[in-house]
Amino acid sequence: MKNIKKIALDGVVTSNPVLKLVLGTCPTLALTTLAMNGIGMGLAVTFVLICSNVLVSLLRKVIPSQVRIPAFILIIATFVTILRLLLDKLLPDLYASLGLYLPLIVVNCIILARAEGFASKNPILYSALDGLFMGIGFTFALTLMGAFRELLGAGAIFGVILWDFKIEFFSSSAGAFFTFGLFIAVFSLMESLIAKKKKINDYAKLCKLKESASVEEINAKLKGDK
Amino acid sequence: MSFFKSVAFRCITVLLALAVIFGGTLAILNDVLYVSPEERTARAIKSVYGVEMKYQTRLDVDSTNTEINQALTCEYGTINKIYEIKQDGNNYDLLFHTTGFYGYNNGKISLWVKVSVNFTTEQPTEDDYKIDTVILASFEKQTLMSKFTGDFYANFTVDLTQEFIDGKIFTSDKYDTDNIKNIITGATKSANAACNAVNCVLDYVWGAN
């Protein structure tokens, strides 16, 4: 249970693929003009992440380490092709809006990184969960950025026009870089604030303990808290 | 014999097995999830009308029927498909899939252009035609397509029938005073390709020059 909680926190917050690891930058910058595009791309990547992680984990003892990278690429490319076929058949509008960036999922660093760094070393369940939460983290970041840019660049949210006021800069490539930088800065700031607060809480606990306990007891307590 | 126990043999076997299994799976899925040209046409018509409509093909460059499988070329681009969609009485719509040349980086823009034909006489005259809808179908090499909002495409659908009869065409040249300007500032070359795509339809319907 502790492992699952760690995987979830890693995927969505502490190792967020977009805002913390700065991976998958190409679709992040190109597709976040609309919030809906962010959701679409996020879900597409989540599907490929889960499927490829499961298969890589399943075959981790079969694939020789010397050919693991071509084997992983083969697996990822297969799932991306399946996804393309499915979207073209069932969701043609989404397929058209994702355009070129859909086949480019094959070379998305997040997927290969998770296959190499996690799925090839962990059992199936944990690998599937890692894919799911990394996908959620990716979707979350892309949707948030898309909503922000759509709101300021088009005066709309999820296609619903809210006002006539537009700052076209946010719909442009430069606006994408600016928004990306802004989001990374805000995310890092929030993370450092949370870490600082945690440090203060730990210190306060330590001070309280110091009044009534021995050094061994304090150490044991802090260890338990961790 | 030692080769069959080596790592090299295992590597080749695993990669080959993966390629064969995945290749087979994709071949089956490709067949199961195949989207036919008819289905694609129905989707395109739905994107224009909002609902599925019955249509008759007048021209289709992808058709296997040799009588209709040719593109109509004009000075500015090509018309790849023309569908006729029946409306009330004698009235009907002509839906064009048209591609305009000379965009940014010598790229192309393809549009769906719906022309309605409303007439009470036996045969329609040239002022019975009107451009109703223009929708982006696809583009090549154009990097500033996000600048093209609905307003740009709406400029093509303003009632300009008399101007078309007089031989005017759309232009993205701001110094051109003889024609109808439809320009996106900062993306004039892409606007030129879009104008050319519509001009091809003008050429077909009104014989523009």
Structure tokens at B87: 């409306």
Residue A137 CB-half CA count within 13 A: 28
- Pairing type for strands B180-181 and B72-73 reads unpaired
- Tell me the mean pLDDT in the region B188-206: 91
Name which of A78, A86, A88 is nearest B22 (Cβ-Cβ).
Answer: A78
Length of chain B: 209
**Summary mean pLDDT of chain B:** 88
H/E stretch holding B117 reads strand B109-117
- How far apart, in whole angstroms, are the C-alpha atoms of residue B14 and residue A60? 12
Cβ atoms within 10 Å, residue A128: 19
Cβ atoms within 10 Å, residue A58: 15
Structure tokens at B99: 């591609």
Same domain for B154 and B195, yes or no, is yes
Same domain for B90 and B163, yes or no, is yes
Range of the domain at A49: 2-170
- Pairing type for strands B72-73 and B92-100 reads unpaired
Same domain for B20 and B42, yes or no, is no
pTM over the 0.90 mark: no
Same domain for B22 and B63, yes or no, is no
Number of folded domains in chain B? 2
Same domain for B22 and B82, yes or no, is no
Same domain for B132 and B164, yes or no, is yes
| Smallest Cα distance from A125 to chain B, Å | 22
Give which of A66, A78, A98 to mutate to test B binding, by max B Cβ within 10 Å.
A78
Same domain for B16 and B48, yes or no, is no
Same domain for B92 and B191, yes or no, is yes
Verify whether the Cβ–Cβ distance B146 to A33 is below 8 Å: yes
Residue identified by tokens 């034909």 is B117
User: Is A32 inside a domain boundary?
Assistant: yes
Taking the Cβ of residue A226 and every Cβ of chain B, the question of whether any pair is shorter than 8 Å is answered with no
Same domain for B102 and B190, yes or no, is yes
Q: Which of A85, A23, A78 is nearest to A52 (CA)?
A: A78
Same domain for B94 and B12, yes or no, is no
- pLDDT tens digits for B103-160? 999 999 999 999 998 887 877 888 888 999 999 988 888 888 877 888 899 999 888 8
User: Is A189 inside a domain boundary?
Assistant: no
B80 vs B126, residue with greater confidence? B80
B11 neighbourhood in chain A, CB within 8 Å: 64, 66-67
User: How much is the ipTM here?
Assistant: 0.78
A139, A38 contact by CB (below 8 A): yes
- How far apart, in whole angstroms, are the C-alpha atoms of residue A55 and residue A46? 14
DSSP state of B167: T
Which residues of chain B have a Cβ shorter than 8 Å from any chain A Cβ?
A: 7, 10-11, 14-15, 18-19, 22, 25-26, 29-30, 33-35, 43, 146
Same domain for B41 and B28, yes or no, is no
Verify whether the Cβ–Cβ distance B43 to A92 is below 8 Å: yes
Number of folded domains in chain A? 1
Same domain for B86 and B173, yes or no, is yes
Range of the domain at B143: 37-206
- pLDDT tens digits for A170-201? 988 899 999 999 999 999 999 899 988 988 88
- Pairing type for strands B170-171 and B180-181 reads parallel
In sequence order, what are the beta bridge partners of B109? B100, B139
Taking the Cβ of residue A33 and every Cβ of chain B, the question of whether any pair is shorter than 8 Å is answered with yes
- How far apart, in whole angstroms, are the C-alpha atoms of residue B54 and residue B45? 9
